[in-house]
């Protein structure tokens, strides 16, 4: 791929003012787009497009790069979680020469182009977020698996995942062997594990969330509120994990709500 990992602009360290990570800092783009800060809504849009067209969010792909940059910008207080993502994104998959060519763009400018093995007989499949498919609860959980991949699961994460599973399935009980059960077991094991590197992470449990859910549904504001409340209620500091389950659900709910306006 031709995209880079997000890095802070190489500004003179004598300047105290911190600058947000912009599209031009991590992608080969020009014009007004290059000076636009990358925000949570931009990352959510690209994640949704990759999920729609490729069936998953590409590891270390444009969506992952954008999410990492958006998290850094938000933690530094340089962008708002509610900042509208109006750049316009697209992911186009075309089949030729026995392979699949994937082209990803933001604001009409190509930011990545790469080949994948051809695993279907489908023809060119474009997707843009002018009229995006809604982000499901399983999809939002997989976003959290990517954006907070190395976060060891604790009780607040397990509670949020349990609330998400219940909202997806419509059941008041967790599914035996499901993601909520696995997350709870991981949280208990982690509390008894001293070595950080031996603890189970969000990516370990949520990477295949859509496949593990017995049922799935588009994220609504009420779904997000329930999950966020569960995460906060079980966190001693009453804080959400940046890029974690509650935040991913909240962003998905806003994206779904905006797409229906």
Which of the two residues, 225 and 148, has the higher pLDDT score? 225
pLDDT in tens, 79-112: 887 666 666 777 777 766 667 778 888 877 889 8
Confidence label for 130 from pLDDT (cuts 50, 70 and 90): very low
Name the pTM for this structure. 0.57
Mean pLDDT to the nearest integer, 38-60: 84
Residue 168 has pLDDT above 60, yes or no: yes
Q: Is the pLDDT confidence value at 184 over 80?
A: yes
Question: Residue 99 phi/psi, 5° resolution?
Answer: -135, -175
- Max CA-CA distance within the chain? 56
- Residue with the bigger pLDDT between 209 and 243: it is 209
**Mean pLDDT on 152-162:** 96
pLDDT (0 to 100) of residue 100: 77
Residue 62 has a pLDDT of 92
What's the rounded Cα separation, in Å, for the pair 218 and 211? 15
Helices (H), ranges, the chain = 23-26, 31-34, 40-54, 62-75, 137-147, 155-169, 179-191, 202-206, 209-212, 221-233, 245-259
Residues 202 and 216 sit within 8 Å (Cβ to Cβ): no
The Cα–Cα gap between 99 and 76 comes to 41
Scan for tokens 């590197």, then name that residue. Answer: 197
Structure tokens at 25: 């800092």
Among residues 147, 205, 135, 138, the alpha carbon closest in space to that of 165 is found at 138
Residue 114 has a pLDDT of 84
Q: Give the bridge partners for 126, in sequence order.
A: 92
pLDDT computed for residue 135 by the predictor: 84
pLDDT mean over 192-202? 92
Per-residue pLDDT, averaged over 131-145, amounts to: 81
Residues 153 and 202: beta-carbon distance below 8 Å? yes
CA dihedral 39, 179, 136, 163 (to 10 degrees): -80
Kindly tell me if the per-residue pLDDT of 55 is higher than 90: no
Return left, alpha or beta for 107; rule: phi > 0 is left, psi -120 to 50 is alpha, else beta.
left
**pLDDT band, residue 50 (cuts 50/70/90):** confident
Going by pLDDT thresholds of 50, 70 and 90, the confidence category of residue 60 is confident
Across the chain, what does the average pLDDT equal? 82
**228-258: burial string, b at 16+ Cβ within 10 Å, e else:** bebbbebbeeeebbbbbbbbbbbbbbbbbee
Per-residue pLDDT at 157: 97
Q: What is the pLDDT of residue 133?
A: 65
């Amino acid at each position: 791929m031709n995209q880079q990992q997000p890095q802070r602009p190489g500004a003179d360290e004598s300047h105290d003012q911190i600058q947000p990570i912009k599209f031009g800092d991590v992608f080969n783009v020009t014009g007004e787009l290059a000076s636009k800060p990358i925000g949570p809504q931009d990352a959510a849009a690209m994640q949704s497009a990759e999920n729609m067209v490729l069936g998953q969010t590409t590891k270390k792909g444009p969506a992952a790069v954008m999410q990492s940059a958006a998290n850094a910008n938000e933690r530094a207080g340089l962008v708002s979680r509610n900042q509208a993502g109006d750049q316009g994104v697209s992911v186009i998959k075309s089949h030729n020469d026995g392979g699949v060519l994937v082209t990803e763009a933001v604001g009409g400018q190509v930011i990545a182009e790469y080949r994948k093995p051809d695993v279907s007989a489908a023809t060119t499949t474009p997707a843009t977020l002018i009229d995006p498919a809604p982000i499901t609860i399983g999809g939002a959980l997989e976003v959290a698996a990517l954006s907070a991949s190395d976060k060891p699961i604790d009780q607040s994460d397990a509670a949020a995942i349990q609330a998400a599973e219940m909202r997806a399935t419509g059941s008041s009980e967790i599914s035996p062997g499901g993601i909520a059960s696995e997350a709870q077991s991981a949280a208990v094991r982690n509390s008894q594990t001293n070595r950080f590197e031996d603890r189970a992470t969000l990516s370990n449990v949520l990477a295949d969330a859509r496949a593990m859910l017995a049922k799935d549904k588009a994220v609504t504001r009420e779904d997000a509120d329930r999950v966020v409340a569960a995460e906060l209620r079980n966190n001693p500091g009453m804080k959400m994990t940046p890029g974690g389950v509650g935040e991913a659900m909240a962003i998905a709910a806003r994206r779904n709500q905006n797409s229906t306006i």
